[in-house]
């Protein structure tokens, strides 16, 4: 199968790295989480409770999106 866009439900310890992996492989990702603080934090380009490696990856993805 060839996906162009996916949705990841939950952007915590599993969902955020999973979404990041898909995004770095050219797939458009829509992330969903019920925790408004998580959404607000990610929209600011920051991470909560994540490893530095994931934070670097998110920063690279943010730069690519702009």
pLDDT tens per residue, range 5-59: 999 999 888 898 899 889 888 899 999 999 998 888 888 888 765 555 666 776 7
Give the number of C-alpha atoms closer than 13 A to the C-alpha of residue 57, restricted to the C-beta side: 15
Residue 19 in contact with residue 62, Cβ under 8 Å? Answer: no
Give the pLDDT score at 10: 93
Q: How many domains does the chain have?
A: 1
Give the pLDDT score at 36: 92
Residue 52 domain boundaries: 5-65
CA 50 and chain centroid, separation = 11
CA dist., res. 20 & res. 23, Å (int): 5
pLDDT band at 64 (very low <50, low <70, confident <90, very high): low
């Amino acid at each position: 199968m060839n996906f162009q866009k996916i949705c990841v439900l939950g952007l915590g310890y599993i969902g955020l790295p999973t979404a990041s992996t898909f995004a770095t492989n050219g797939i458009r990702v829509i992330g969903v989480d019920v925790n408004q603080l998580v959404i607000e934090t990610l929209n600011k380009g920051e991470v909560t409770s994540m490893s530095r490696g994931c934070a670097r990856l998110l920063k690279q993805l943010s730069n690519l999106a702009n």
